[in-house]
Each structure stands twice: as structure tokens, then as C-alpha cells.
Amino acid sequence: MTDTTSGRTPIIAANWKMNHDHFVAIQFTQKLSYLLDKKDTDGVEVVLCPPFTDLRSVQTTIDSDRIPVSLGAQHCHFEEQGAFTGEISPAMLAKLTVKYVIVGHSERREIFGETNEMVNAKLKAIWKFNMTPILCVGETLEERESGETDAKVQAQIAAGFDGVAKEQIARTVVAYEPIWAIGTGRNATPEDAEATIGVVRDAIASVAGAEVSEQVRIQYGGSVKPGNIAALMERPGIDGALVGGASLDPDDFARIIRYRS
């Protein structure tokens, strides 16, 4: 089932960041499955992106209980193997049946210094192992207030998709996450979020053409909560959400998934 206005299936992903040990992760996943009915996930793709130490536990819980959610990872290196202490390769993730990998999250860019070039290399590596990237783009408060939002996301899209095949771009998920709204309690209005997502879609069209751009699912991420998800998802340009803090509680995350109720 797809969204009737855009033809794109909504995708809601939980980014737990550095939270939940593997015992809590198992409990969360099991409780989420009890909270959701089949109708809740029929028309929405749900993704859980736990920390690396939880991946195997969440994977086995999803598989053994046949829970209708996909497994995602928060990050990976762009090399398949090598002397990169502390890093995780895309090959390792693929062996765990990871389906999605977040790449270029603002915290990776801002705190760990990931460049557009690194993001591009990771995106290509993720596709090499038949996983789907969730490419994050977004601006800081300073950039927003100085009118640089459009230029910032356009540059991130152009660099992120540089040298990527059109058929891969079409299947990539893009998350617009205004950095100023992450974990602050502030969020863009649905109208503002949709407007910037329109800029993102136009930027994709500049790289890969309008037909490809219309196939790309674009999420909003930035203090998404049960109280604002319905208003965001009512906007035809918004295809889902990348959820941070509100995804740590299974009750809250289930309410977000059930935004149509």
C-alpha cells in the first residue's frame, strides 16, 4: 500500500542514537509488536535503528517473532574491512540483514566531522552491499537565520549523490533534519518543513531528473512527537519521519506509527 497522493510508501524510522542496551532493545521491540496491529503497519514501513551492540538482538527478535518492521543501522564506514579500530563495515551490517543505514546524520557531521565526500563514499558503500541509505541533510540555526538553508541542503544533495546511479538515487530515502530542531523541542511548522523538502526534491531533480526525484521518499526529522506527527504527515510532500527522542519509548513510537488513527 502506498500514499494515495504521491504514490510513495511512508517510512517512519526510529533512531535510538546512543541509548538502550541490548536487554532494553529486546524488551522495546517485543513491546512494540504487542502495541501494533496489522493495520498499523499495512501502509507504513517501520524501521528500528539501534546502536551497534543491539543489532543482533533486535534482528533475532524481529525474525523470531515475525514483527513487521525493518532493521536499520545508525552509521557505517565506507571500507569493507581494514585497520579502522572502532568502526563497522557495511559488509558486517549486511550479514545481519540490515536493510537501512543512516548516513550523514547531523550529529555525525557536526560532532565527528564527517564531510560531504565521506558521506558520498558511505552512501556508495551501503548500496554496494544492497542496503538502502537514509541520507540526512539539514541546516544549523545560524544558517537558517542568515537565509542559507536552500544553499546548504542543495549542496549536501549534490555532493551526497555525486556519481550515484539514478536507479539507486530513486530508492534512497532522504531525511530533512533541521539541526536547530533536533532534541530542542523546537520544530519547523508542517508548512515550513514541506517547503524545505520541496527544495530538497528540486535539488534531487537537478542531479537525477524530475522522474527520479518524484520516486524518492523524503522524511522530516526534528523533534517529531505523537502530538505533531499527524500534522506533518498531512502534508503531501512529507513521506515519513526520522524520529529521535520520541522513539525511545515504545508507547510514544507506536502512537507515531499510528498517525492515521
**Distance (Å) of CA 200 to CA 38, 41, 181:** 32, 27, 17
The H-assigned helical ranges of the chain are: 22-35, 38-42, 55-65, 90-95, 106-112, 116-128, 141-145, 149-160, 166-171, 190-208, 210-213, 229-233, 250-257
- Distance CA(109)–CA(119), nearest Å, equals 9
Q: Kindly state the DSSP code that residue 230 receives in the 8-state scheme.
A: H
Residue 16, helix vs strand vs coil: coil
Q: Distance between CA 232 and CA 194 in Å, rounded?
A: 8
pLDDT value, residue 188: 80
What is the value of pTM for the model shown?
A: 0.95
Q: With 80 as the cut, is the pLDDT of residue 4 above it? A: no
Helices 149-160 and 190-208 cross at an angle (nearest 10°) of: 40
Please enumerate in sequence order all residues whose Cβ is within 8 A of that of 185, keeping only pairs 6 or more positions apart, or say none: 223
Alpha-carbon gap, residue 237 to 255, rounded angstroms = 21
**Structural domain boundaries of the chain?**
11-257
pLDDT band at 141 (very low <50, low <70, confident <90, very high): confident
Q: What is the DSSP letter of 52?
A: G
The DSSP string of 134-159 is EEEE---HHHHHTT-HHHHHHHHHHH
Quote the pLDDT of residue 184: 67
Percent of the chain residues topping a pLDDT of 70: 96
Q: pLDDT-derived band of residue 140, with 50, 70 and 90 as boundaries?
A: confident
pLDDT average, residue stretch 104-127: 97
Residues 6+ apart with CB under 8 A from 92: 76
The tens digit of pLDDT for each residue in 61-85 reads 999 999 999 999 999 999 999 999 9
Q: Are 78 and 43 in contact (CB under 8 A)?
A: no
Mean predicted lDDT score pLDDT of the chain: 94
The catalytic residues are: 105, 177
Which residue is associated with the grid cell 540526512?
136
Q: At the fourth CATH level, which superfamily is domain 11-257?
A: Aldolase class I (3.20.20.70)
- Considering the chain, what percentage of its residues have pLDDT values greater than 90? 89
